[in-house]
């Protein structure tokens, strides 16, 4: 399976015009390679899709938890998107790149007082408030500073996005947000509207991840617009902004059939406009928060094969010099990936192998029963679609240093995150 930015030349895999086998030699492995041109093009696709639907009355926020580093915030700033941050660390990194604070939306279900103070000091555009304790804390800290924090409340719309449990966040049994079904959301909006340090601007929902159909978003739109209308009718609260969250699916394997942003939003935004008309609501400002769909497909991880262990009548383990430390998604969610041997890219994938990492843990796999070329120690192995939730979820388990990240653009590469050294590993040890 190849993406449009990936090609094969002289039996080698190229990404964004750069030879991955050469990249592995130059920067070492494991190595995250991100196609910068593809990320930029995807940002533009999302922007166009929203613009075509609602013109200037919309904003794409990149959910930076998917892949967060200075170079990425710089890129997103240059492309004119806003961002969603979920921690003081993400916020700090973005501000180091002079990200316009008014385009920052601060999420998180348990923001600390220090993080809220930091966000207020930067003047972030919105707080996506999750719960009543946070609401009161934000109010208190804002009043102390003599400001009114603009908020968007995180609502659980109760939509089943037909996705797997671990990333299903829109239903009532979720740690995120307040529920509609039991009246909790209505009550808290009433409370919020009366607080002196709070300006209620919007409502927010995020119904899950890896969603491949428009229906769950139609459902979310219906529920949220009805809620906005009720707030206006019964409490005279003017909700001007609707944030529909992220969750747009990407292709990890042949079975995944993502919907292009243009098609997704022409449908979802038409549905929104119709729903608003029926309800007598003005069309709110629309925000979306794609994370995975901006970066996942642009990323490839390169490894060096260390051993090939065939256990007769059982399975073949191909072990590489990375694993759950750079990609914990199989260990966490049994996520599926596609791989190729980068220096044998035109050869047929005649084997079925289990791709194992180097950690002292049996569950340290990148995938089971994956098709692959015949391979041997020293080969360079490429795993596709690792641009999201890989580097950002990497760890130092077994004191393995984190891998480097390079951006490629027009066939040229540059390091954007340095490989960690053993010195980095002991830096905070006392
Ligand atoms: N907005 C909110 C409020 C979110 O909670 C999330 C993801 C997003 C936007 C972006 O969703 P995306 O477009 O990336 O699907 N670590 C998991 C994914 C966790 C997603 C959590 N929230 C994984 O590796 O699959």
Q: What is the spatial distance between Cα 393 and Cα 83, in angstroms, rounded to a whole number?
A: 18
Per the DSSP assignment, residues forming a β-bridge with 106 are: 85, 127
pLDDT in tens, 154-189: 999 988 776 544 455 557 888 999 999 889 999 999
Query: For residue range 272-296, what is the model confidence (pLDDT) as tens digits?
Result: 999 999 999 999 999 999 999 999 9
Nearest to 297 by CA among 80, 68, 67: 67
Residue range 76-104, pLDDT digits in tens: 999 999 999 999 999 999 999 999 999 99
Give the number of C-alpha atoms closer than 13 A to the C-alpha of residue 143, restricted to the C-beta side.
Answer: 10
292 Cα nearest atom in ligand 1: 14
Which residue is listed with tokens 């490839």?
300
Which residues approach ligand 1 with their CB closer than 6 A? 63, 66, 84, 107, 167, 169, 206, 209, 245-248, 289-293, 329, 389
Residue having the nearest C-alpha atom to atom 23 of ligand 1: 389
Contact 109, 153 (CB under 8 A): no
Whole-number Å distance, alpha carbon 209 to ligand 1 midpoint, is 6
266 phi and psi angles, rounded to 5 deg: -65, -35
- What's the pLDDT at 162? 66
157-166: b (≥16 Cβ within 10 Å) or e: bbbebebeee
Average pLDDT over residues 296-309: 98
Residues of the chain with CATH 2.40.37.10: 6-35+298-426
How far, in Å, from the CA of 60 to the mean position of ligand 1?
15
Q: Has 69 been annotated as catalytic?
A: no
pLDDT value at residue 159: 86
User: Which residue, judged by its Cα, is nearest atom 21 of ligand 1?
Assistant: 167
pLDDT at 147: 98
User: pTM of the entire structure?
Assistant: 0.97
% of the chain exceeding 90 in pLDDT: 94
pLDDT digits (tens, 9 = 90+) for 22-52: 999 999 999 999 999 999 999 999 999 999 9
The residue-averaged pLDDT of 369-388 equals 98
Peptide bond into 30 cis (omega under 30): yes
Q: Where in the chain is the domain with CATH 3.20.20.10?
A: 57-292
Q: With b meaning 16 or more CB within 10 Å and e meaning fewer, what string describes 188-207?
A: bbeebeebebbebbbbbbbb
CATH level 3 topology of 6-35+298-426: Lyase, Ornithine Decarboxylase; Chain A, domain 1 (2.40.37)
CA angle (247 as vertex; 5, 251 as ends), nearest 5: 35
What is 373-408 written as a DSSP string? ----TT-EEEEES-SSSSGGG---GGGPPPPEEEEE
Is a pLDDT exceeding 70 seen at residue 385?
yes
Round the average pLDDT of the chain to a whole number and report it: 96
Q: What is the pLDDT of residues 190-216, one digit of tens each?
A: 999 999 999 999 999 999 999 999 999
For residue 209, which atom of ligand 1 is closest to its CA? Answer: 15
Q: What pLDDT is attached to residue 163?
A: 52
- The predicted-structure confidence for 398-421, as pLDDT tens digits, reads as follows 999 999 999 999 999 999 999 999
Of 13, 19, 17, 18, nearest in space to 1 by CA: 13
**What value does the CA radius of gyration of the chain take, rounded to a whole number of Å?**
23
| 216 class by beta-carbon count within 10 Å (0-12 exposed, 13-18 middle, 19+ buried) | buried
- CA–centroid distance, 291 to ligand 1, in Å, is 6
φ, ψ of residue 87 in degrees (nearest 5): -160, 165
Task: Return the residue whose CA atom lies nearest to atom 19 of ligand 1.
Answer: 167
Residue 165 φ then ψ, to 5°: -50, -45
User: How many CA atoms, within 13 angstroms, populate the side-chain half-sphere of residue 64?
Assistant: 33
127 phi and psi, to 5 degrees?
Answer: -105, 120
Whole-angstrom distance, CA of residue 115 vs CA of residue 128: 13
Pocket test for ligand 1, best of 291, 329, 333 (most atoms within 8 A of CB): 291
Starting at the edge strand found earlier in the chain, the sheet holding 12-15 runs 6-9, 12-15, 18-19
Mean pLDDT of 243-262: 96
The predicted model gives 112-134 an average pLDDT of: 98
Question: For position 5, what pLDDT does the model report?
Answer: 81
Q: Tell me the CA–centroid distance for residue 248 and ligand 1, in Å.
A: 9
Question: Does the domain formed by 57-292 have CATH 1.10.3430.10?
Answer: no
- Ligand 1 centroid to Cα of residue 149, in Å, is 24
């Amino acid at each position: 399976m190849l993406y449009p930015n990936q090609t094969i030349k002289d039996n080698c895999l190229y990404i964004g015009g750069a030879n991955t086998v050469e990249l592995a030699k130059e920067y070492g492995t494991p190595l995250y390679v991100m196609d910068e041109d593809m990320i930029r093009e995807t940002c533009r696709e999302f922007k166009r899709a929203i613009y075509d639907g609602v013109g200037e009355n919309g904003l794409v926020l990149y959910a930076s938890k998917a892949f967060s580093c200075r170079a990425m915030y710089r890129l997103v700033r240059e492309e004119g998107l806003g961002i969603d941050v979920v921690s003081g660390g993400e916020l700090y990194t973005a501000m180091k790149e002079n990200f316009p604070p008014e385009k920052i939306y601060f999420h998180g279900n348990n923001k600390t007082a220090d993080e809220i103070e930091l966000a207020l000091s930067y003047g972030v555009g919105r707080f996506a408030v999750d719960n009543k304790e946070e609401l009161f804390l934000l109010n208190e800290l804002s009043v102390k500073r003599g400001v009114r924090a603009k908020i968007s409340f995180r609502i659980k719309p109760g939509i089943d996005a037909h996705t797997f449990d671990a990333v299903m966040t829109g239903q009532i049994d979720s740690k995120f947000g307040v529920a509609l079904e039991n009246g909790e959301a209505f009550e808290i909006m009433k409370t919020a509207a009366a607080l002196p340090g709070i300006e209620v601007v919007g409502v927010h929902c995020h119904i899950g991840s890896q969603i491949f159909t428009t229906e769950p978003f139609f459902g979310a739109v219906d529920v949220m617009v009805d809620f906005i209308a009720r707030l206006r009718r019964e409490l005279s609260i003017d909700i001007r902004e609707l944030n529909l969250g992220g969750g747009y699916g990407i292709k990890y394997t042949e079975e995944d059939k993502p919907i292009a942003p243009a098609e997704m939003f022409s449908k979802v935004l038409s549905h929104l406009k119709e729903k608003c008309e029926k309800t007598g609501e003005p069309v709110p400002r629309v925000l979306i928060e794609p994370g995975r769909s901006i970066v996942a497909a642009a990323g490839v991880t390169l490894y060096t094969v260390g051993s090939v262990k065939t256990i007769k009548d059982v399975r073949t383990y191909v072990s590489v010099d990375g694993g759950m430390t750079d990609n914990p998604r199989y260990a966490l969610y049994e996520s599926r990936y596609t791989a190729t041997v980068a220096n044998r890219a035109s050869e047929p994938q005649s084997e079925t192998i289990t791709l194992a990492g180097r950690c002292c843990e049996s569950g340290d796999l990148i995938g089971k029963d994956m098709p692959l070329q015949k391979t041997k120690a020293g080969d360079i192995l490429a795993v596709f679609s690792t641009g999201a939730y890989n580097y950002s979820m990497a760890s130092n388990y077994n004191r393995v240093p984190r891998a480097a990240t390079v951006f490629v653009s027009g066939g040229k590469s540059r390091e954007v995150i340095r490989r960690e050294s053993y010195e980095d590993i002991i830096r905070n040890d006392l």
